Structure formats: structure tokens, C-alpha cells
Amino acid sequence: MAGLAMPQPDGAVLARRAEIVSALQAIVPGEGVIADDTGMRPYETDALTAYRQMPLIVVLPETVEQVAAVLRYCYDNGVKVVPRGAGTSLSGGALPVADGVLMSMMKFNRILDIDFPNRAVTVQPGVTNLGITRAVEHEGFYYAPDPSSQIACSIGGNIAENSGGVHSLKYGLTTNNVLGLEMVLVTGEVIRLGGKHLDAEGYDLLAMMTGSEGLLGVVTEVTVRILQKPETARAALVGFSATEDAGRCVADIIAAGIIPGGLEMMDKLALEAAEDFVHAGYPREAEALLIVELDGPEAEVDYLLARVEEIARANNSGYLRVSTSEEERMVFWAGRKAAFPAVGRISPDYLCMDGTIPRRELPRVLAGMRALSEKHGLRVANVFHAGDGNLHPLILYDANLPGELEAAEAFGADILRLCVEVGGVLTGEHGVGIEKRDLMPEMFSEDDLRQQQRVKCAFDERQLLNPGKVFPVLHRCAELGRMHVHKGQMPFPDIPRF
């Protein structure tokens, strides 16, 4: 796996493989355990396909009781577990470990309850993101977070990575739309967090679980909020001859107090690839394209579109086209949502990065990425959630050419360092996984990382859940709790010790 360091496999666990397979087959009978190389091959990677690792065993539970029993067995026997949803993670979050069980949750694929009066839907974690909207759209409702992979990605994976999408600017990420969870701890205990009620007392463990990347527990049930479809929604394509002008336009729209339902940006390379793929009517002459969607009452939408046009003209926009029908609006978005596969048609391989910056820094960061492209000798296509500063640069390379993967990784690391340098963060919605793990010290101090690891230890003291992810150096829990004694003197000696 290139130069990526993962935990060394436990030889004792590898030696007990046949015993572990037999025990898991007793818990999940029939076809619930996959132990042959051919059957396990589809699970060796997720959407970060540059890295691959065959798991020890794959298990596909169908009930909460089976999940609990598998985790309890693994906990008692010191076997690692990597939870997995649909495998669309772009940060290597579901990469298996050689001495661990990969637990696929895709048989948990039922919608359990639709509650229109409370505007809530309860589903199993293997239900797709788009599946929730499909289940409620006949009553004029929808589920707001809409990642580009929404046709395939599972709601359990959305919880793990705190996924967003093109409409997250106005309606929030997964964490803003989840009401409750049922989850199984590594010990096999089943707990519930939140519910259909608006709020809960005590620590906000629900928010902590959202984005925890499978390090704290395995989600077996999710309750989400659904929204009524807006009365009117119209999208505008706004073209610019310079990406810096487009970046300033984004900042000016938000500064004017306008919060679009979606505010996306594509550079020339990305928009041309998308246009060739989808034929959405994008202006090929533009160096950068904004897709601005306004929703709400018709009079409000008309007024805000006029304001956006004024702001765009003030930022040297040379092209503006507003959708005149629902079909045309969907075509505008189809190009954006197909941008990743479209770019895949013009390059043998690409790395999709994910960093978030303050909106005002968009022009500076876009210029910086151009300079980095020249430095590393690789092209980059920019497609991102401009409204909330969530960047998704696609670094184009050919893995068959010696050194290009390493160059792409170095390019990506420099982009993320640039994001942190301007006051941003390493990830907006793809998670840390293995991709950004070793860059965590760029953003967090040693004390910051230790504190985060203490949370991990509170849920998983033996560090069996999804090991090797997120933390660049994983301390043993005993080390994090160890008291430092200097020259025989404990810190704060006047505090009573029990």
C-alpha cells in the first residue's frame, strides 16, 4: 500500500483464523461469512482505490443481535473490526486490516418507519441516501443532505463521515439532519442516542458519533429529519473568465445575506468534462462556473435571483442563464453531480481531495492550487461546495507511470496544508480515514490529539474498532492516562488523590 503505514498484523490472530471463521459462522449462519479470497476481493478497498488490503474475514450480519454477538466475540478474543457501508468512502475509511473482521452493514437495508407528522424517518444503516427521499417524495418531502454519490452511498456511511452535498450550505450536513441513533458498542452493548424529540439532555453524544468514522461503535438504526419540498426552486449558471472573480462572487453573495439552497463552483477543466459527459448546456468559454440555486416562495426567489445577478455582474461575470423549468434545473445539477465520473473519462486515475476554507480565501487558494499544479506537474480539476468553502480538487494522474501516485499524494498534502494555513480544516465531509491521518498534526497539537484519543479510549479501550485510521500515532489508552512524575514530584501535589 505505497508508503502508508498500517498497524502490524497480530500473528496470534492470524494463526487462529480457522477458529474465528468457525465461531462467526455459528453467529451469522448461511452466507453471512465470507472467507475465500475471491469472495473477499470486492471488500479490499473503498473509493480510495489507491490503497488495498484483504481482510481476515468478511461478515454480513442481518440483525442487531448478530452485530452485538460478533462484536462481543471479537472483543473477548482481541480481534479487530472494520465497519463498512456501501464502500463509497473517499478517504480510505473502510480499508480493511489483515488481522481484522470487515463487517458489512449492507443487509441492514430496510426503512422502518415514516412519520410525516413528526417529519422523521427511521431507517437501517444500509439504506441509500437517495432511498430516503424516494420513500417520502410522494408527500412532498425530501432528505436534505445529498452527496454526489447519493444514489449509492449508505446512510450509515453518511453518519460515519458526516457527509454533506450540494444543498448543505442552507440545510446542513448529516449532523444537522440526524435525530437519533441505535448503535452497538465494541463490547456488544446496544445503546440509543437521541430520537424523534427535538433535543436531549446531557452531553451531545449524537453529534460526537456523527463523523466518528467507525471508531466508536457500529450504527444499526438511524432516525433523520425530513423537510418539505420548497414551493419554488430555480438554478442559475453564472460564468466567469477568471476563477478569482468567481471566488469573490461567492464571498459577496454570502456577505449580502443571501443563503442559496446550493452554491457550487467548477473550473474550466471540470465543467468541460461534465459538459462532454452530460450535455447540461454549460458555457465552454468560461474559466469558472457557479451554479446558484435559490428556493422558497416564488416572489422571494425572483428577488434573490435579481440580487445575485447584480453581484455577479459586479464581479465581471460574462454569462448568466436561469432555469425556466424543473427539468432544466435538474439538468444543471446533473452535470455537477456527474463531475467525478466525468473527470474519470479524461484521466486514468484521480485523487479526490477534501478540505474546507473560509470563503474569503477562495481566490487565494485557487491561485495557490494553480501554482502547486505547476510544481508537481499534474493537472487539477476543481469541483466544490463554494458556498461553505468545502473544496474537492481532483488531482489527475496515471498510476501506471512510475512516481505519479506519489506525486499526486504530495500534491494533495500540499493542498490540505494550504487549507490549514489560510484558517481552514483538513476535511469537510469525506473524513480523515487513512488519507489525511498523517496530516492531522498540521492542524492539531499533540494535546489536541491526545484529548481526541481519550474519547476513543472511553468507547474502545482495546482499540479494536477501525484501527489505523484518523490518528497518526495511536497511543495505548494506558499511556494517555499515565500520570507524569517529574523529579519525584507529582503535578499539583496539593490536590487530594483517591
Identify the pLDDT of residue 199.
Answer: 72
Kindly report which listed range (109-118, 150-159, 340-349, 416-425) carries the lowest average pLDDT score: 340-349
β-pairing verdict for 57-59 and 262-267: unpaired
Spatial separation of the C-alpha atoms in residues 218 and 196, rounded to whole Å? 20
> 301 and 214: one domain?
no
Sequence-separated (6 or more) residues with CB below 8 Å from residue 367: 244
Average pLDDT of span 359-370: 91
Domain assignment present for residue 152? The answer is yes
CATH of the domain at 156: 3.30.465.10
Kindly report which listed range (388-397, 427-436, 466-475) carries the lowest average pLDDT score: 466-475
State the cell numbers at 30: 448461511
Identify the pLDDT of residue 495.
Answer: 45
Angle at 308 between CA 306 and CA 309, to 5 degrees: 65
Domain assignment present for residue 465? The answer is no
Q: pLDDT grade, residue 216 (50/70/90)?
A: very high
Domain assignment present for residue 61? The answer is yes
pLDDT digits (tens, 9 = 90+) for 417-439: 999 999 999 999 999 999 999 99
**In the listed set 177, 211, 228, which residue is the last one of a domain according to the structure?**
228
> 63 and 173: one domain?
no
> 263 and 206: one domain?
no
**In the listed set 410, 435, 460, which residue is the last one of a domain according to the structure?**
435
Which residue is it, cell 430520537?
195
Identify the pLDDT of residue 478.
Answer: 77
> 278 and 392: one domain?
yes
Identify the pLDDT of residue 484.
Answer: 45
State the cell numbers at 470: 484518523
What is the chain's mean pLDDT, rounded? 93
Domain assignment present for residue 129? The answer is yes
Whether residue 201 is predicted with pLDDT greater than 80 in this model: the reply is no
Identify the pLDDT of residue 485.
Answer: 45
pLDDT digits (tens, 9 = 90+) for 78-109: 999 999 999 999 999 999 999 999 999 999 99
> 276 and 369: one domain?
yes
β-pairing verdict for 141-142 and 227-228: antiparallel
C-alpha distances in Å from residue 274, one per residue of 167, 329, 342 = 19, 15, 5
Q: Which residue type sits at 479?
A: E
Domain assignment present for residue 456? The answer is no
Domain assignment present for residue 166? The answer is yes
Identify the pLDDT of residue 360.
Answer: 87
pLDDT digits (tens, 9 = 90+) for 292-309: 999 999 999 999 999 999
Count of the separate structural domains present in the chain? 3
Domain assignment present for residue 212? The answer is yes
Domain hosting residue 48, numbered range: 11-104
CATH of the domain at 276: 3.40.462.10
